[in-house]
Amino acid sequence: MGTTTYPQERVEAKGRTVMSQSSLEDAPTTAIVSNEIPLTVKEAAKYLGVSSQTVYLWVERKQIPHLRVMGRNIRFLKSDLDLFRASFRQEMENA
């Protein structure tokens, strides 16, 4: 699988796409198979109920699953955010 074109951007299944965690290596393929459109930082922040700055901090600390599109742009799969949100809630309950 080469690349899939989304409106205004390209996500590469193999090649230069940078993954934040080794467990997410299949994420671009998942997006291609499920036709899931990646969310922007602003959309992900709204979905998670936090600020954009918090999302950028999590990305910098490699705490949240994300995709790098065209080098600098950061995108998120909603299915990955659902898993992240569930694990985040579990951590908060255990604390």
Residue spans of the domains in the chain: they are 3-89
For residue 1, the SS3 value is coil
Q: What is the pLDDT of residues 23-39, one digit of tens each?
A: 444 455 454 556 789 99
Element at 34 (helix H, strand E): helix 27-34
Q: What is the pLDDT of residues 2-18, one digit of tens each?
A: 444 444 444 443 333 34
What span, in angstroms and rounded, lies between the C-alpha atoms of 56 and 54?
5
Query: What's the N-to-C CA distance of the chain in angstroms?
Result: 42
pTM higher than 0.85? no
